[in-house]
Amino acid sequence: MSDQDAMAQRLYAGTTPDAAAAAPIEAAPHPDQARAERMYPDEPPPEVRTDVPDEIAAMRAADPARRMFGATAFAQDLPDGSLPGIDVVEARQVALDLGVEAVDLRELRTLANAEAEPDVEAWRVESHAMLTQRGFTAADLDGARQLACRDPRVKSYLDATGLGDHPKVVERFVELARRARVNGTLKGKS
């Protein structure tokens, strides 16, 4: 027996090299795993919505970026509870459907949560003046209506809140409709 073997025998009495090698090595649980599971529990998958129009569902399914990033889009700009009575998670998806930007959502939140009662008639007059001043045509306004009507939930919300007549909303829908036509996501007259 060599000096090394004798030393090993003293240190590891009762074990042979073959027995130690044959013993299964059990992996100790990672010390941070339990903490991570408490901090970030597995969230159940979102409920499948049945009220999404077929055209919108098909558009969402055809967009690979939506499948990858859709769940987290606009979470900071449209936080939970920011639009009373609205499913904000679906509202974020609708925002992606429309092609809005973060600034649009912040503006919508401001308008929707305004304390003053909406003056829809005044908004209509202001919208008409804005359309004329900006040189928008009847076709532009038709495109904005078509975009809003593509998802009946959008039209219903705009009608119920009166925001569909607000000049900022009308102008933005005209711009979004133009962009959607160019991108091929809004069919109809050019």
Provide the b/e sequence for 121-146 (b: ≥16 CB within 10 Å): eebbebbeebbeeeebeeebbebbbb
Whose CA is closest to 96, among 118, 68, 122, 138?
A: 68
CA separation for the pair 36, 144 (Å, rounded): 47
Q: Which pLDDT value is given to residue 51?
A: 82
Rg of the chain on CA atoms, in Å? 30
Q: Which pLDDT value is given to residue 114?
A: 85
Whose CA is closest to 116, among 166, 178, 75?
A: 166
Q: Which pLDDT value is given to residue 9?
A: 77
pTM equals 0.70
What does DSSP assign to residue 91?
A: H
Whose CA is closest to 78, among 51, 54, 65, 96?
A: 96
* pLDDT tens, residue order, the chain (190 aa): 688 877 777 777 766 656 555 556 666 666 677 777 777 667 665 566 678 888 888 888 888 888 777 767 888 988 888 888 888 888 999 999 999 999 999 999 999 888 788 899 999 999 999 999 999 999 999 999 999 999 999 999 999 999 999 999 999 999 999 999 998 888 865 4
